[in-house]
Structure 1
Amino acid sequence: MKDQLWSLLLSVLAILGSSQGKVFRVSKMECRTLDPSFTYFKTCKVVRGENGRASLYINEVMLYKQPIDDIILNLAIFKISKNRRFQFLNETLDYCLFSRQMLATGFFRFLMAPVLGTSNLNVTCPVQQDLVFNGFSVDENTVKEIPIPNGVYLFQMRSAMMKKWRTDVKVYATRVDRYS
């Protein structure tokens, strides 16, 4: 049943693909700590480069110093239209299971390879260090395969550690045909 739903989703996305843009123009990023006694963000900024390309810089400082082996990531994508948000996607990933099997599906598959390339994120569990994303590029090379149509989007990544939501990162971007 899950495979049938996944095939249906891929078919719908392929149909939408004919009207898709090619790049994302990032307008802003917000990083919020949901538990300040556990972690905080030292850096959370968007650096715009040439022709509208952007790089995301995040430095999350872990105040909790014990190894963490219970990490859940949730990625939600909303299409924003006037005063409404339409949820386009909501996926959850058990990071420790992913690190053992290197198995990600859906949008996490598109996201994890570039994220692992620009961060100090330990591919194995438990995690015990501060997290640094040093210049995650949002350009035609990192997001070209995401098959969604032009428009304004909110990408929301939440993390839960030890059964409690700890962080919430939001990136606002517009899908367009080319940078201007």
Structure 2
Amino acid sequence: MWSTRADAFIKLTNVVCKSFDKPFADFRSCRLTVVKRGVIALSLYVKLFQLPVNNVSINVSLFKKASGYRPFLNNVTADFCAFMANRRRFPFLKIFLDLLLTESNINHTCPYAHDIIVTNLVLHEEMFALLPVPAGEYMFKLMVGAYNQWKADIKAYFSIKLD
């Protein structure tokens, strides 16, 4: 059943972070915490060892659980530095990354000369108002690359339930 989001309840259920190049970057923290009853927040801390970083690529994809996780909606790869210079150029990325940018320190253009920190990111129903997302279980996958090599993979699992 499709939801208008007014009657939906969205909750993070798990997060898995993996570094592919530990000499370049490593996760110091990647966890979900209970902020208050029924409210789960995502926090992560990525230590960057080779600064500054001025060439960043991202791949954003959404999966829906149906006999395993299957691709759902879009799978977009883009130059993150170009995206940050003009966010309207990539509308699908803008929807997802606007969620992340409000609770992180990556809300500026390249170069990145500091560690990456996301603090207490909570999903709200209004964040999904632009997406036709039915009730179910989902996985949001973010792959991050630098200098034409994938460096990290973040998978955030969440569920959407109708009241």
Relative to the length of structure 2, the TM-score reads: 0.87
SS at match of 2:105: coil
Alpha-carbon RMSD: 2.1
Alignment of 1:108 with 2:105, yes or no, is no
Instruction: Point out where structure 1 has 5 or more consecutive residues left out of the alignment.
Output: 1-15
2: CA distance, partners of 1:104 / 1:22: 29
Deviation at 1:106, TM superposition (A): 3.6
Alignment of 1:45 with 2:23, yes or no, is no
Candidates 130, 138, 161, aligned match of 1:153: 138
Q: Which structure's CA Rg is the greater one? A: 1
Query: Partner letter of residue 109 of structure 1?
Result: K
Deviation at 1:108, TM superposition (A): 1.5
Deviation at 1:23, TM superposition (A): 3.3
Pair 1:161–1:167, CA change in 2 (3 A)? same
Query: Partner letter of residue 45 of structure 1?
Result: R
* 1:31 matched residue in structure 2: 17
* 1:99 matched residue in structure 2: 84
Paired residues of 1:23 and 1:144 also in contact (CA < 8 A): no
2: CA distance, partners of 1:74 / 1:27: 21
Instruction: Indicate the larger mover: 68-77 or 104-113.
Output: 104-113
* 1:80 matched residue in structure 2: 65
* 1:62 matched residue in structure 2: 48
Aligned length: 161
1: CA distance, partners of 2:71 / 2:22: 28
Structure in which a larger fraction of residues adopt strand: 2
Pair 1:122–1:50, CA change in 2 (3 A)? closer
2: CA distance, partners of 1:22 / 1:96: 34
SS at match of 2:122: strand
Deviation at 1:122, TM superposition (A): 4.4
2: CA distance, partners of 1:27 / 1:68: 31
* 2:8 matched residue in structure 1: 22
Pair 1:40–1:176, CA change in 2 (3 A)? same
Pair 1:148–1:38, CA change in 2 (3 A)? same
Structure in which a larger fraction of residues adopt helix: 1
Query: Partner letter of residue 42 of structure 1?
Result: R
